[in-house]
Amino acid sequence: GGADIECDLMVLGAGPGGYSAAFRAADLGLKVVLVEKYATLGGVCLNVGCIPSKALLHVAAVMEEAQHMNELGVAFAAPQVDIDKLRAHKAKVVGKLTTGLAGMAKARKVQVVRGVGSFLDPQHIAVETDEGRKVVKFAQAVIAAGSSAVKLPFIPEDPRIVDSTGALELRFVPKQMLVIGGGIIGLEMATVYSALGARISVAEMLDGLMPGADRDLVKVWEKQNAQRFERIMLKTKTVSVEAKDDGIWVKFEGEQAPAEAQRYDMVLVATGRSPNGRKIAADKAGVAVTERGFIEVSPQMRSNVPHIFAIGDIVGQPMLAHKAVHEAHVAAEVAAGQRSHFDASVIPSVAYTSPEIAWVGLTEEQCKAQGRAIEKGQFPWAASGRAIANGADYGFTKLLFDAESHRIIGGAIVGPNAGDMIGEVALAIEMGADAVDIGKTIHPHPTLGETVGLAAEAAHGSCTDLP
């Protein structure tokens, strides 16, 4: 039969990509329907990702800072954790934001249709709602259906074996916890659980933690986190996981791996995320999906079907909320008839661990691999008054410049608030700033952000053809 609802733009998925596309399109005058299966808006990021993890990481950071105060002459009693209250706090943070989004949708007259959506043809999607199946007819569509945690086939179902969503539920604090996968998500959760009292082991397939990050930063991070870990196993494959009454028994393979099975009270599987492209019947709309589930798009965020756009985790790496939001704005603007395309030269990455690691643009390893001549400007925080005052003199800021043009091409920061500071480096890259531009920009003293200016000065101080 016909359609129950008609609209100019149907957005599938209400994560950072979906809600941003819906809101921008509505602001530009389109009649928008937003299809979402979760009870709340916000997707992975607000409900089970960026936001709840940061709510818990903030608590972990304060607990660790309080302990550190003992050395400075201010003693606090050992922390007593009420895990139910902490869980409620996290839920409250998430609730504030998702409620805010619902209000913003209403204010813009974006119609939210709650249920699982699946395409019928290039102009229709069926949504299985609580009140039965509803068919939405759309002139254009944005697919923002996101990604899901990768499941390892040999891992059994057990409440003590969790993915990031399960870990964020804070069911209990284990004594011994194994994190499979040493990337950002795994190490953020390791930071939370170790602050709460768990001993952490990490098994990572690659030869280093935090793949993608500058190795000099990771070294600093590892040194600062040495006491957090029972064991870090690199180049290690997890080969079997068995749930027994007395714990989860895990076997590994690799030079650094123990020969015998190890026992843990909780196992977090954080081995990556895979796109949801194969779960939405995209083929019925004619939208091409790769074997792995990604949808390939043009710089205007159009799929192979020109009136159907795709954005966010489902279109590829990096799977980050800020990337999804920017792609969303492009898709909505193009759908509304504006000239727009995605042309960010860089997308920053941040691990909100203790300390934070943030990087943007090229890393030194990538420059080396490309055979690219660079100038390096480094500023060790041991020379920063603010870092010393804050007990963060182990940190450092590194900037990379093209040797010929002296323009900045990458930056990396390790230390508290690194994530808040990397935005300036991203701006400098986007604006084509050179070492003099950054070095001669007056940064406030004493701040950690000052180290960005000082690192730039260190670079242009070392090159002869500049004043």
113 CA to centre of own chain:
27
Contact between 43 and ligand FAD by CB under 6 A: the answer reads yes
Q: Determine which helix (DSSP H) or strand (DSSP E) holds 457, and give its type and residue range.
A: helix 450-461
Which of 30, 49, 186, 213 touches ligand FAD by CB under 6 A? 49
Supply φ then ψ for residue 253, to 5 degrees: -130, 140
User: Considering the rule CB under 6 A, would residue 145 count as an interface residue with ligand FAD?
Assistant: yes
Size, binding site for ligand FAD by CB under 6 A = 37
Q: Is 266 in contact with 288 (CB distance < 8 Å)?
A: no
Interaction residues for ligand FAD, span 156-215 (CB under 6 A) = 164, 185
Where does this chain touch ligand FAD (CB under 6 A) — which range of 40-48, 173-181, 232-240, 357-365?
A: 40-48
Q: Is 353 a binder of ligand FAD (CB under 6 A)?
A: no
Q: Which one, of 175, 167, 169, lies nearest residue 248 by Cα?
A: 175
As measured in angstroms, the least distance from the Cβ of 351 to ligand FAD is 9
Contact indicator for 351, 209 with CB cutoff of 8 Å = no
Out of 11, 94, 144, 412, which residue is the one contacting ligand FAD (CB under 6 A)? 144
Residue number with CB closer to ligand FAD (288 or 369):
288
Q: How far apart are CA 166 and CA 344, in angstroms?
A: 34
CB 220 to ligand FAD: min, Å: 20
Which is closer to ligand FAD, CB of 314 or CB of 330?
Answer: 314
Q: Which is nearer to ligand FAD, 272 or 432 (CB)?
A: 272
Q: Which of 11, 26, 34, 53 binds ligand FAD (CB under 6 A)?
A: 53
**Alpha-helical segments (H) within 70-147:** 83-107
Q: Which stretch binds ligand FAD (CB under 6 A): 25-33, 97-105, 253-261, 308-316?
A: 308-316
> Closest by alpha carbon to 364, among 399, 395, 397?
399
Identify the burial level of 439 via C-beta atoms within 10 angstroms of its C-beta, where 0-12 means exposed, 13-18 middle and 19 or more buried. buried
Candidate list 81, 93, 102, 116; residue touching ligand FAD; CB under 6 A: 116
The residue from 24, 90, 228, 322 that contacts ligand FAD (CB under 6 A) is 322
146 lies in the site for ligand FAD, by CB under 6 A: yes
Which is closer to ligand FAD, CB of 268 or CB of 433? Answer: 268
Identify which range of 14-22, 97-105, 153-161, 391-399 contacts ligand FAD by CB under 6 A: 14-22
Member of 7, 9, 16, 451 binding ligand FAD (CB under 6 A): 16
How, if at all, do strands 262-264 and 247-253 pair? antiparallel
Judged by beta carbon, residue 53 or residue 363, the one nearer ligand FAD is 53
Adjacent-strand bridge partners of 248: 243, 264
Q: Which is closer to ligand FAD, CB of 140 or CB of 384?
A: 140
Q: Cβ of residue 319: shortest distance to ligand FAD, in angstroms?
A: 4
| Sole binder of ligand FAD in the list 6, 38, 124, 160 (CB under 6 A) | 38
> Least CB distance from residue 282 to ligand FAD, whole Å?
10
As measured in angstroms, the least distance from the Cβ of 424 to ligand FAD is: 18
Q: How far apart are the first and last CA of the chain?
A: 74
Among 56-64, 96-104, 145-153, 378-386, which window interacts with ligand FAD (CB under 6 A)? 145-153
d(CA 37, CA 40): 8
**CA separation for the pair 149, 62 (Å, rounded):** 29
Residue 322: count of CB within 10 angstroms of its CB: 18
- Catalytic residue at 445? yes
Task: Say how far apart CA 268 and CA 434 lie, in whole Å.
Answer: 43
Calculate the alpha carbon distances from 157 to 152, 192, 202, 288 in Å. Answer: 11, 23, 20, 33
In angstroms, the CA 102 to CA 42 distance is: 9
Catalytic residue among 68, 329, 443, 445: 445
User: Could you write out the DSSP letters of every residue in 33-58?
Assistant: EEEESSSSSSHHHHHHSHHHHHHHHH
Q: How near is the Cβ of 137 to ligand FAD at its closest, in Å?
A: 17
b/e code 348-359 from CB counts within 10 Å (16+ = b): bbbbbbbbbbbb
Of the candidate spans 113-121, 152-160, 299-307, 410-418, the one that interacts with ligand FAD by CB under 6 A turns out to be: 113-121
Query: In angstroms, how far is CA 79 from the centroid of its own chain?
Result: 29
Q: Is 277 in the site for ligand FAD (CB under 6 A)?
A: no
Give the residue numbers annotated as catalytic, written as ranges. Answer: 445
- Give the residues lining the site for ligand FAD (CB under 6 A): 12-18, 35-38, 43-45, 49-50, 53, 116-118, 144-147, 164, 185, 276, 280, 312-314, 319-322, 324, 352
